[in-house]
Chain A
Amino acid sequence: MPETPLPDATAADPRGGAPATARPLLDVSGVTKSFGHGRRRLTALDGVDVTLRRGETLGLVGESGCGKSTLARVVLGLERPDSGTVRFDGTDPFALKGKELLAWRRRVQMVFQDPFASLNARMSAADLIGEPWRTHRDIVPTARDRERRVRELLSLVGLRESDAYRYPNEFSGGQRQRIGIARALALGPDLIVCDEPVSALDLSVQAQVLNVLSELRERLGVSYVFISHDLSVVRYISDRVTVMYLGKVIEHGRTEDVFDRPLHPYTAALMSAAPALDVSGASNGEEIRLRGEIPSPFDIPSGCRFRTRCWKSEERCAEHAPPAVTRDGTADTGQEPHQGLCHFPLGAGTTEAGVRPRVG
Chain B
Amino acid sequence: MKPSQLSAPPATGRPALEVEGLCVDLHTPSGTVRAVDGVGFSVRRGHTLALLGESGCGKSMTALSVVGLLDPMAEVTDGSVRVSGTDVLTLGRAGRRKLAGPVLSIVFQDALAALNPVQPVGRQLAEPFRIHRGLSRRRAEEEAVELMRRVGIPEPRLRARSYPHQFSGGMRQRLLIAMAVALDPDVLIADEPTTALDVTVQAQIMRLLRDLQTERNMALVLITHDLAVVAQRADDVVVMYGGNVVETGPVAEVFARPRHPYTKGLLDSVPEHAVRGRPLPAVPGSPPELSAIPSGCVFQARCPMAREVCVRERPRQVSVGAGRTAACHFSEELDHA
| Chain A interface residues (CB < 8 Å from chain B) | 63-64, 172-175, 202-208, 210-211, 214-215, 229, 231-233, 235-239, 255, 269-270, 272-281, 283, 289-290, 293-294
Contacts and interface: CB of A to CB of B under 8 A. Distances in A.
B252 interface: yes
A211 B280 contact: yes
A352 to B, nearest CB: 28
Contact of A279 (B168, B198, B225, B256): B256
Contacts of A238: 276
Contacts of A275: 203, 206, 226, 228-229, 231-233
7 contacts: A172-B287, A202-B54, A232-B270, A275-B232, A277-B273, A279-B255, A289-B204
Interface in B225-283: 225-229, 231-233, 251-252, 255-256, 265-267, 269-274, 276-277, 279-283
A280 B232 CA distance: 10
A255 B206 CA distance: 28
B286 interface: yes
Contacts of B323: none
A174 B225 CA distance: 16
Which of A173, A207, A232, A272 has the most chain B CB atoms closer than 10 A to its own CB? A207
B228 A236 contact: no
Contact of A235 (B226, B228, B271, B281): B271
Instruction: Tell me if B's interface is mostly helix, strand, loop or mixed.
Output: helix
A293 B170 contact: yes
Given A63-B198, A207-B270, A290-B204, 14 more contacts: A202-B54, A203-B266, A207-B271, A236-B276, A237-B276, A275-B226, A275-B233, A276-B272, A277-B267, A277-B270, A277-B273, A278-B231, A289-B207, A293-B168
Interface of B: 54-55, 168, 170-171, 198-204, 206-207, 225-229, 231-233, 251-252, 255-256, 265-267, 269-274, 276-277, 279-284, 286-287, 302
Nearest to A65: B198
A203 B231 contact: no
Contacts of A274: 199, 203, 228
B270 A63 contact: no
Nearest to B270: A277
A74 B251 CA distance: 44
B24 to A, nearest CB: 21
A269 B252 CA distance: 25
B200 A269 contact: yes
Nearest to B170: A293
Nearest to B287: A202
Contacts of A278: 231
Contact of A236 (B225, B267, B274, B281): B274
B293 to A, nearest CB: 15
Contacts of A281: 252
Contacts of B302: 204
Contact of B270 (A175, A203, A214): A203
B287 A279 contact: no
A275 to B, nearest CB: 4
A204 B279 contact: no
Nearest to B254: A279
B271 A232 contact: yes
B55 A202 contact: yes
B280 A210 contact: yes
B224 to A, nearest CB: 10
A211 B276 CA distance: 11
4 cross-chain pairs, A with B, having the tightest CB-CB distances, nearest first: A207-B282, A236-B271, A207-B269, A273-B203
Contacts of B229: 275
Contact of B281 (A174, A207, A272): A207
Which of B170, B207, B269, B302 has the most chain A CB atoms closer than 10 A to its own CB? B269
A269 B204 CA distance: 12
Contact of A277 (B168, B170, B255, B280): B255
Which of B206, B251, B270 has the most chain A CB atoms closer than 10 A to its own CB? B270
A202 B286 contact: yes
A276 B286 contact: no
Contacts of B228: 232, 274-277
A236 B232 contact: no
B54 A204 contact: yes
Contact of B286 (A64, A174, A235, A236): A174
A236 B272 CA distance: 7
Contacts of B201: 63, 293
Given A236-B276, A269-B200, A277-B272, A204 B266 contact: yes
A175 B286 contact: yes
A231 B200 CA distance: 12
A220 to B, nearest CB: 16
Contacts of B273: 277
A192 B201 CA distance: 30
Nearest to B201: A293
Contacts of B227: 203, 277
A290 B205 CA distance: 12
